[in-house]
Every structure is written in C-alpha cells, then in structure tokens.
C-alpha cells in the first residue's frame, strides 16, 4: 500500500510538551512556523522547560491531564503524543499514572486526532523490545518483555498504546504513525531523573562517585536530542505509519559511557559499581535502515559532540542552582 501524501502542518498539539523531548519538539515546530499547543500536567516535566517560549504569539501552554477530558478548540493538523513518564526512576515512582497515560492518555490523544482529522504520532520506545533476543533490534522483532516485572508498567503501557494506535488506524482511518525512540539525551534532562547520562554527568561535575550498575558491560545506544527530534518531525511530515526505530546505532557499554563522561568533564570522580535493576536489558542497539530508507534520516551528532553539549548545559544549570537567590 502506498503512503498517503505529506500534509501541511500549521497547528500542532504536543502532549508532554513541557518534558525533555516535548520541549525540544515545541521549539523546533515554532522555529518552522507552526503554531503549538503544549499540553502537560507537569508530573515529570516543568513549565520552566518552555519558559522561553511563553508569550510567543504561536505558542500556548495548557495544564491538562491527558487521562481526563481533553478539549482543544479550533483546527489541529498534527498530534504528537509524548506524554508519559520515561525514566525508570519516574515510572517506578508513578506506576499507575504511567499505565494510565499509556492507555487512557493515548485513547484521548487518538480521539483528539480523530475529531480534528489530524495526523497522530505516538512516541513509543525501544523498551517495547524488552531484554531483546534479537540484536540489533529491527521493527519486525516482537520483543521479550516480562509482563509482571517492575518495568512492565512502562513497557506494557507502550505496547498497549502501539496496539491502540494501530486499531485507530485500522478501524477509524486515523492517519497514525509510531516512532520507537531509543535512549535520547541532551539539555533539559533533570539531573536526578535517574537515567544514566544525567546521573553520570551530575556525579562527575559534583565530584561524587560515578555509580555504574552491575559490571557496566550492559550496552545502550545513545542519540543526541536534535537527531531524535529531526527523526520524529520527518516521520510526522511523511505519510509513513511505521513503527520505525529512531536512535543512534553506535553502541557503548555503561562503563565506557561513564569513563567518557568522566574524561570529558575533567572530573576525578571514582567509578563505583552498584546493583543492577531487575530486568535491565543487557544490550540495546537500533537497526535504523527503515528510517534511512523511508525518511532519509540518520543521526548526525556523534557521542563525543553530543556529550560535550550536554555537559556544558548541565554545568550552566548546576551553577545557576548554586547561586544565592537575589
């Protein structure tokens, strides 16, 4: 079946727009001339992430819980559904809220897209592959997820939201797309969100021990936020349904990542080893050939450059925080 033609995007709803990825999406969309309605309940995001956008004529921040009634007046061309806790620390602290935003939140976001005749993009995740038995992971792989493990509140919520998105496409003809995002990092991650890069950077900059889980041999493939945003927007602007992997295939062990961050910050923090979380995947690397073929996308920012930019941002943010209030 051929993909529907790309559409002109004028008015976009970004759910979870005050979060890490959502705020970068809002910025890029505004820069591209779109009007943006950013919807967020600030569970893990903050208005501070979009403070610099507030007051712009084409930007509106709406405090709203996606699991409840959602109403947006006027036309909408595109719904980018990014609302959901994403870091293990966050979703383990908010397990029911994570399941609710993945199920009810996705239902309401899809309902909005259906009502407005808008294209819909679901922010799914490499976590749908669980602890993968196929490496690297292609979109055709069905995954290896423990449905009752602690991580299941996130993994299964995303798997359900993929299924719901597919059902809305098949049954209601909504123009949907699914992007499976692999670990993304960059400015505006919270220093205490529990993900490896902000944790290592914070610890290195504060001169604290850098805590690597397990023996550090487990791998991740980390993608700089600008590359991820470009991939998401290319998918949004195409007629492709996906699912499509967006991530950087250059794979690093956690120990390599910790060492790299320690070297780039010039820190003398020791590297220490702590318990590995239950069901933590051993390996993670996207096969991105589908994104290259269908979207002409590939990541452009290498890990060294991306980490330098991220470290510079954290240095400024931590300095800002340590200043006495005037």
Binding site for ligand NAD (CB under 6 A): 15-16, 18-22, 40-45, 65-67, 82-86, 90, 101, 105, 123, 125, 181, 183-184
Is 36 in contact with 79 (CB distance < 8 Å)? no
Q: How far is the CB of 126 from ligand NAD (least distance, A)?
A: 6
Which pair of tokens denotes residue 70? 């959602």
Q: Are 227 and 300 in contact (CB under 8 A)?
A: yes
The verdict on whether 154 is a catalytic residue reads: yes
Cβ nearer to ligand NAD, comparing 224 with 269: 224
Q: Rounded to the nearest whole angstrom, what is the least distance from the CB of residue 2 to ligand NAD in the complex?
A: 28
Smaller CB distance to ligand NAD: residue 16 or 88? 16
Distance, CA of 13 to CA of 248 (rounded, Å): 26
Coil, strand, or helix at residue 233? helix
List the catalytic residue out of 91, 129, 154, 185: 154
Closest listed residue to residue 232, CA positions, set 245, 221, 220: 245
Phi, psi of 173 (to 5 degrees): 70, 20
Minimal distance in Å, beta carbon 82 to ligand NAD? Answer: 4
Closer residue to ligand NAD in complex, CB, 97/271: 97
C-alpha to C-alpha distance for 315 and 202, rounded to whole angstroms:
9
Shortest distance in whole angstroms from residue 303 CB to ligand NAD: 14
Instruction: Please give the Cα distance from 211 to 255 (Å, whole number).
Output: 10
Nearer to ligand NAD, 118 or 225 (CB): 225
Catalytic center residues: 154
């Amino acid at each position: 079946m051929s993909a529907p033609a790309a559409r002109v995007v004028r008015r976009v709803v970004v759910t979870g727009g005050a979060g890490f990825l959502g705020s970068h999406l809002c910025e890029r969309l505004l820069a591209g001339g779109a009007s943006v309605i950013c919807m967020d309940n600030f569970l893990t995001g903050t208005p501070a992430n979009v403070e610099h956008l507030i007051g712009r004529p084409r930007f509106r921040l709406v405090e709203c819980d996606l699991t409840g009634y959602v109403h947006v007046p006027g036309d909408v061309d595109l719904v980018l559904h990014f609302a959901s806790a994403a870091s293990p620390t966050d979703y383990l602290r908010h397990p029911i809220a994570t399941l609710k935003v993945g199920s009810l939140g996705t239902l309401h976001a899809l309902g909005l897209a259906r009502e407005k005749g808008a294209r819909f993009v679901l922010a799914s995740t490499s976590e749908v592959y669980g602890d993968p038995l196929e490496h690297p992971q292609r979109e055709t792989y069905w995954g290896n997820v423990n449905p009752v493990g602690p991580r299941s509140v996130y993994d299964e919520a995303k798997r359900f939201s993929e299924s719901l998105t597919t059902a809305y496409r098949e049954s209601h003809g909504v123009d949907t797309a699914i992007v499976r995002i692999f670990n993304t990092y960059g400015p505006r991650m919270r220093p205490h969100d529990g993900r490896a890069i902000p944790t290592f950077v914070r610890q290195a900059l504060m001169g604290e021990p850098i805590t690597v889980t397990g023996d550090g041999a487990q791998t991740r493939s980390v993608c700089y936020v600008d590359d991820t945003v470009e991939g998401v927007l290319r998918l949004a602007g195409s007629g492709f349904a996906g699912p499509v992997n967006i991530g950087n295939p250059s794979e690093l062990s956690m120990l390599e990542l910790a060492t790299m961050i320690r070297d780039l910050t010039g820190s003398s923090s020791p590297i220490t080893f702590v318990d590995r979380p239950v069901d933590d995947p051993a390996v993670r690397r996207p096969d991105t050939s589908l994104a290259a073929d269908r979207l002409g996308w590939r990541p452009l920012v290498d890990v060294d450059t991306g980490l330098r930019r991220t470290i510079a941002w954290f240095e400024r943010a931590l300095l800002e925080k340590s200043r006495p209030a005037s």
